[in-house]
Amino acid sequence: MLKPYNILVIFLFRTCLKQVPINGGIEIRLLIDDKEFQAAGPAEAEKLLKQKGAFAIIVNGEPKDLSFIQSVPADSTVQGLTFESKEGKAIYRHSTAHILAHAVKELFPDAKFAIGPAIEEGFYYDFDVHQPFTPENLEAIEKRMLELIKKNTPFKRKEMSRAEALETFFRLGETYKVELLESMQDETVSTYEEGGFTDLCRGPHVPATGAIKAVKLLSVAGAYWRGDEKRKMLQRIYGTAFASGKDLKKYLELLEEIKKRDHRRLGRELDLFSINEEIGAGLILWHPNGAIIRKTIEDFWRDEHMKADYKLLYSPHMARLDLWKKSGHWDFYRENMYSPMEVEGMEYEIKPMNCPFHIAVYKTGLKSYRELPIRYAELGTVYRFERSGVLHGLMRVRGFTQDDAHIFAREDQIGEEIKKILDFTLFILNTFGFENYDIYLSTKPEKYVGTEENWKISTDALKAALDYKGLKYEIDPGEGVFYGPKIDIKVKDSLGRAWQCSTIQVDFNNPERFDVTYRGDDGKERQPIMIHRALMGSLERFFGILIEHYAGSFPLWLSPVQVDVLTIAERHIDFAREVACALRQEGVRAEENFENEKIGYKIRQSAMRKVPYSVIIGDKEVEDGGAALSLRKKSGEAIGPFTLSALIDLLKQEIKIRR
């Protein structure tokens, strides 16, 4: 979701406007979408901004309506906003959300309004209505929105005291707006009115409804007021808006492609996993096809960690509650933990993290400075409380396995260790087919533990490693974990969507809390630094991303079935079975389809199951005794002929290179 408008100052490098007196007038220099323009005075500046597609501005870090250009103070820093900018899209789509609310009010006069923000790919608005919206309702609302847009009614801003706003919205019966106003600290607030419809809003907005060129309502869902399941369930209408019908069409086509790749649908069709309500929401059952992919991922992960000098661990699924109090999780992470259970008079907690267990392993013996760094890794299953409304297939679950690791290092080693982790992370991601990613350096949050000095050391170490590797990254203010700053890596899939996977976190806190030490070269006890890191994140989420990235058509090394052996007739079964057995003996995952069906049907079945290769056995193959076998790709292309041994070598080589 987009950040609040008040952080848009980070975009100010993109454009500026200065007013300087020239011959008794004012010359204005504009940069819009990284292009420079000149205007002789505010009126010409506003005209030029409109011509170039700008519909709002930022003045001294604050977003403003375009009309504010007429009163821009001298020496102000200003940005012209178009739909091409991230913040411009937010204003454009938030304005569309207001038009949505206006349309709903006209069609459903008794509806009450909650909030309607812009989100990453569009907007939504929450409504309190007597009956849930139907698809037919959405069509009618969208039609009315288009009519309101066609009227090109201006958005008019009005500032008033909070008391006056409270009186206004109380009189209108807008109880949700009243509650929002009561929670505000500002003594002055603003409203926006267009076409007789008034809404509470900080703004800014586009100048008029006609600025919106293409809009589409997408879906409706239930949403608790303020995300609190104890509050009323509202109706949330989702929509999107673009600067052109062509761009909207492209986006809707993308949504259709996303639907085709939905890991939940493909999970059912390819028999990969399921979720059983009798077992519990957010708990995954891995079916044989999904389990063999998971085994392949885990085997690769373990082998590469052994090569990188990590020591593998296994730890319990629960521990005494005191452990989580000592680690700080009970204080800082309790809302994501389950209620403790009593065992023989002691309270136990199922684990939300693996780190305290790794610390316990480290502390089983004295450690010397010569032994550091010590790297522990575990595919550890953890459990976190997620509300049912946010659970989503494999992407948001309650029980999942982290590819977790913790490194205990001297302070002089953390820079090199972070560089190694970055290299290791990108190697793992590239192997799975992810070559594009966004990197963020997340800094100290509002609630944190530890000293300012340690936070600076940790943040500087992460930044220095990123700079040394020449990796492009953004600062993500306040998004670090409570015990330290972190690097987050979001992979981009084949559709360009970003997914949070990898993280690297520096921690001074837990070594101090658990009295973790090593003996220095001077014989004194010293405290190591702990680095938490995950490369894939969780296996469940990563698997879901892989399914959608490949649309279920996995590369050979990951495919649950790598080769289908198909027979043309019953008389070919004995030899076909020999071929299938030979493939399996060499580690190739081969399955047999000897059903009494036409070969065309069997080929289509194999293609639907997205099996990379098929070997078709008929009279010729039997007569040749396997001297001239052909491989049929899932695309329909045939390659070969090969001897059986050459075919096996070809498959094993492709599996080995993991492509």
Distance CA 74, CA 59 (A): 11
Are 491 and 517 within 8 A, CB to CB?
no
Residue from 310, 301, 461, 423 nearest 374 by CA: 310
pLDDT at 14: 38
Catalytic residue among 402, 488, 602, 634: 402
Is residue 263 annotated as a catalytic residue, yes or no? no
pLDDT at 484: 87
Is residue 549 annotated as a catalytic residue, yes or no? no
Catalytic residue among 64, 351, 398, 532: 532
Catalytic residue among 236, 367, 384, 632: 384
Catalytic residue among 89, 486, 589, 610: 486
pLDDT at 508: 86
Q: In sequence order, which ranges of 115-155 are alpha helices (DSSP H)?
A: 135-151
Catalytic residue among 294, 351, 367, 406: 406
Is residue 581 annotated as a catalytic residue, yes or no? no
pLDDT at 21: 43
CB burial readout 477-492, b (16+ within 10 A) else e:
eeebbbbbbbbbbbbe
Residue ranges of E strands in 78-163: 78-81, 112-113, 118-119, 122-128, 156-161
pLDDT at 29: 64
Is residue 460 annotated as a catalytic residue, yes or no? no
Are 385 and 400 within 8 A, CB to CB?
no
Is residue 532 annotated as a catalytic residue, yes or no? yes
pLDDT at 31: 65
Kind and range of the H or E run holding 289 = helix 288-307
Q: What is the pTM of this model?
A: 0.85
Catalytic residue among 404, 488, 507, 564: 404
Is residue 620 annotated as a catalytic residue, yes or no? no
Are 27 and 77 within 8 A, CB to CB?
no
Is residue 404 annotated as a catalytic residue, yes or no? yes
pLDDT at 26: 58
Domains observed in the chain: 5-82 (no CATH), 88-259 (3.30.980.10), 285-315+354-549 (3.30.930.10), 563-657 (3.40.50.800)
Catalytic residue among 157, 351, 355, 562: 355
- Block mean pLDDT (10 aa), the chain, length 659: 37 38 51 70 79 85 88 72 92 97 96 94 95 95 97 95 94 94 92 94 95 96 87 95 96 94 96 95 96 97 97 96 90 88 93 94 95 96 89 94 95 93 95 94 86 87 93 90 89 92 90 93 93 94 96 97 96 95 96 93 94 95 90 90 94 93
